[in-house]
Amino acid sequence: MISLNNKRCIVTGAGSGIGRAVALDLAWRGASLALSDIDEAGLAETRNLIGGGGDRHRHDRLDVSDRDAVARYAASLSNAWGPANFLFNIAGLSRIGAFAETPLASFDKVMDVNFYGTVAMCRAFLPQLRETRGTIVNISSIFGLIGFPGQAHYCASKFAVRGFSETLAMELAPEGVCVTCVHPGAVATNIVRAAELDALPGGVKSREKFNKKFDKAARTSPERAARVIVNGAAKGKRRIVVGADGHVVSILQRLFPRSYAWLPPRLIGWR
- Catalytically active residues are 154
3-state secondary structure of 15: coil
169 touches 155 (CB < 8 A): no
Q: Can you list the alpha helix ranges (DSSP code H) found in 39-115?
A: 40-50, 67-81, 104-114
Which residue in 133, 170, 140, 165 sits closest to 155, CA to CA? 140
Residue 220, beta-bridge partner list: 187
CA–CA separation, 248 vs 148, rounded Å?
15
Q: What whole-number distance in Å separates Cα of residue 137 and Cα of residue 141?
A: 13
Query: Which of 87, 3, 92, 12 is CA-nearest to residue 46?
Result: 12
Q: Give the alpha-carbon dihedral of 144, 246, 14, 9, to 10 degrees.
A: -90
CA angle at 80 for the pair 79 and 82, rounded to the nearest 5°? 70
Which residue, among 12, 51, 50, 58, has the nearest Cα to 32 in the 3D structure?
A: 58
Q: At what angle do helices 116-132 and 104-114 cross, to 10 degrees?
A: 10
